[in-house]
Amino acid sequence: MTATPAVLITGASTGIGAAYADRFARRGHDLVLVARNGTRLEDVAARLREETGVKIDILQADLTNLEEIAAVETRLRDDRRIGVLINNAGGSLSGSFVEQKTGDVAQLVALNTAAVARLASAVAPRLAEAGEGAIVNISSVVGLAPEFGMAVYGATKAFVTFLSQGLSLELGPRGVYVQAVLPGATRTEIWDHTGVDVDTLPAVMEVADLVDAALIGFDRREPVTIPPLYDAGQWDAYQGLRQAMLPGFAQALPAERYRSAD
């Protein structure tokens, strides 16, 4: 791996992914940009090549297509210049769970969970062998809040956060940094796909602010970065309460309250 590793970014044609591309290019990293929309990728790449002079490769791919995601996996396995993966590609659905079509639900789960896990799985062994590198997974605060009413989307993002935390525990001691980034409402095109007018939301973060905050967390090597959370102590307390339950999970008998039907 080079001293300034290349960065592979999914969902890089717009929004959060494009902002990550801009920031890493300005830090001097070569890029591999992945998205379905090749025209938009070319636009992003052309601008950043001109403004920064870094080398930028494009991989047009639908990450729910098995052949196309396999090509991205191969690049991650074989290209030893790539030392950072930004797992950003994702989507959402409009309507409630009972209104969403089963096929659309399956497609969303494939993009938001399977693709994230597959790409991380493709690059992690090589990074662990090298003893360096980073995997950044874009999750969401929705994954912590079933009260927000986005059952499938939130479940997929809970998966991403859990995966990231698990990988951090496994890969961190081997020199690989894993970060979960949990945005709140952010001004991206995802709202167009869900039929929500983003301007009706009470508070919306701009993409540039979100990514710049996430990169501060990246530079600090935070395992979980939640840019909209002002009181970091709340997350620490949440983690502390969760970890306090761990010893109670190892029991030979059910808890007393489950030993009687009364």
Positions annotated as catalytic residues are: 153
Rounded CA gap, 118 and 138, in Å?
Answer: 15
Asked if 163 and 207 count as a contact pair (C-beta separation under 8 A), the reply is: no
User: How far are the Cα atoms of 75, 133, 137, 160, 200 from residue 140, in angstroms, in the given order?
Assistant: 27, 23, 10, 9, 19
Cα(224)–Cα(168) distance, integer angstroms: 10
Q: What is the per-residue DSSP string for 95-143? A: S-TTTS-HHHHHHHHIIIIIHHHHHHHHHHHHHHHHT--EEEEE--GGG
